[in-house]
Amino acid sequence: MSLLAIVYHLVPEAPILAAYNREESFDRICQTPSIQSGKPRVLASVDQHTGGTYLGVNQNGMFVGVVRRKKNGLALSPRSRGALAREMLKCNSAQAAVDFALEELHTGQYGGANFCVADQDGGWVIQSSKETDVIELEQGLCVISDRDLNDPRDERASMARRLLTLQTLDSPVKFLAIASKVLARTPTVPGRPSMVVKEQGYGTVSSALISLGQKPRDAIYQYSNGSPDQSKFEDYSPALRDILSRGLREAKAKAAEAEAQG
């Protein structure tokens, strides 16, 4: 079960802060983050098996993260949740992405999942299992695993919340520093939850830290291609800043064109 923590509209200079540990079969390959072709431009890690993604940001500053969850009564050939996430990243806003995802999920053709979608104007979690619910993100820290948002019964999510709030999260740098250590926390006692998962043929395969600031130049994307207790976080911020700058230029050009025509 993957784990996603998002700090939403708490730190003024970075409305969206996210930390993600991805758990998957070790033989399932997912590329390191790269800029995808098409419009809008998207920075994402693409699953070579499905062509989808579990985590991405588009040029409009919209963030999408996906965590699998159990669902009974699956379709015989369920559609890829990651492919749905990649389609969501083509939307121009978080609200539009939520509307699109709900239409797709109501077909009943997807496995269980929690989708987190956020931009500077709004943020939501879509919980899709037996039922599909939409919960608006509140200001502050939210933790998402394979249960409901901020579920107190989820020991791993509760541990992540406790560890992330041992210090005040009042700046992007502080959040990233704390989150990088939290994501790399290994098992201490058998049977107790930990941030890094290590099982037979399955476990934590990558980790990501994202900060979306008010300006493209302030954006940060750090990625560990492997378990973060063993693999260093590499900096993919230039790629993220590139697509965000492109989005800002295109938005200004459209606004200027609309003004000239008006």
| pLDDT tens sequence across 1-30 | 899 999 999 999 999 999 999 999 988 877
pLDDT at 190 over 90: no
pLDDT value at 74 more than 90: no
Percent of the chain with pLDDT over 90: 80
For position 192, what pLDDT does the model report?
A: 79
On the question of pLDDT at 261 being above 90, the answer is no
Q: What tens digit of pLDDT does each residue of 196-207 get?
A: 998 889 999 999
Whether 50 has a pLDDT exceeding 90, the answer reads no
pLDDT, tens digit, 9 for 90 and up, residues 156-181: 999 999 999 999 989 999 999 999 99
Q: What is the pLDDT of residue 27?
A: 84
The stretch 37-53 carries a mean pLDDT of 92
Work out the pLDDT band at 233, boundaries 50, 70, 90: very high
What the chain holds in terms of domains, given with CATH numbers, is 3-261 (3.60.60.10)
Q: Which of 3-17, 37-51, 73-87, 160-174 has the lowest mean pLDDT?
A: 73-87
The whole-number average pLDDT for the span 62-69 is: 96
Which residues, including other chains, have CB under 8 Å from residue 256's CB and lie 6 or more apart? Answer: none
- Which pair of tokens denotes residue 147? 């249960």
pLDDT of residue 56: 97
pLDDT value at residue 122: 96
